[in-house]
Amino acid sequence: ELDDKLFIIHSLLNIIWATGFLIFWRRRQAELAYEWNTLDMEQLEDTRATYKGQLRRSPVTNKYAPYYPAWKRLLFRLLVTMPMLIFNLVLVSFCILIIFRFQAWIDRQLKLGHLPSLMSLTQLLPKILLALVTTVFDDVYKRVCRWLTDKG
């Protein structure tokens, strides 16, 4: 019962600390932006060079800005992004399953005594393989994300 009360107090203190930190950081961010003369940098940013859209007058700023219909973005997400996402999830799950099965096979072989001389190396092999697969997939995902961002 004491743990429950302490847990509640700890949670409330975390909320107060996080709120205070955010308030402090916003103030500090504004100070730094003023010191570094970067207050309105968002307004100076150019649109992405690969962004394609028709020039239309914006009802908010009354200036011409590229416009890309929402239905085209949604269509791209449904027909390209989602299938790629599902494919990548299935591929990663399959690779991880294969590596786990490989680990189980190595463990079985070690218990049966078939791999005694290379025991330490064979136990590390699936873990090394998983690290390599993760690194390769990370690189592939970055490229796919850049492509999807530029196209979508």
Find residue 54's DSSP bridge partners: 67
User: If DSSP codes are grouped into helix, strand and coil, which group holds residue 54?
Assistant: strand
Global pTM reads 0.55
Highest mean pLDDT pick, 20-24, 51-55, 60-64, 148-152: 20-24
Q: Taking a C-beta distance cutoff of 8 angstroms, is the pair 50, 121 a contact?
A: no
Band (pLDDT 50/70/90 cuts) for residue 50 is: low
Looking at residue 79, the DSSP 8-state letter turns out to be I
Task: Report residue 78: phi and psi, to 5°.
Answer: -75, -40
Of residues 8 and 63, more confidence is placed in 8
Domain ranges (residues) in the chain = 67-151
Residue 119's pLDDT is 64
Tokens of 7: 């847990």
User: If DSSP codes are grouped into helix, strand and coil, which group holds residue 38?
Assistant: coil
Q: What is the mean pLDDT of residues 103-121?
A: 77
Residue 152's pLDDT is 62
User: If DSSP codes are grouped into helix, strand and coil, which group holds residue 99?
Assistant: helix
- How far apart (Å, rounded) are the C-alpha atoms in residues 80 and 116? 49
Distance, first Cα to last Cα, the chain: 53
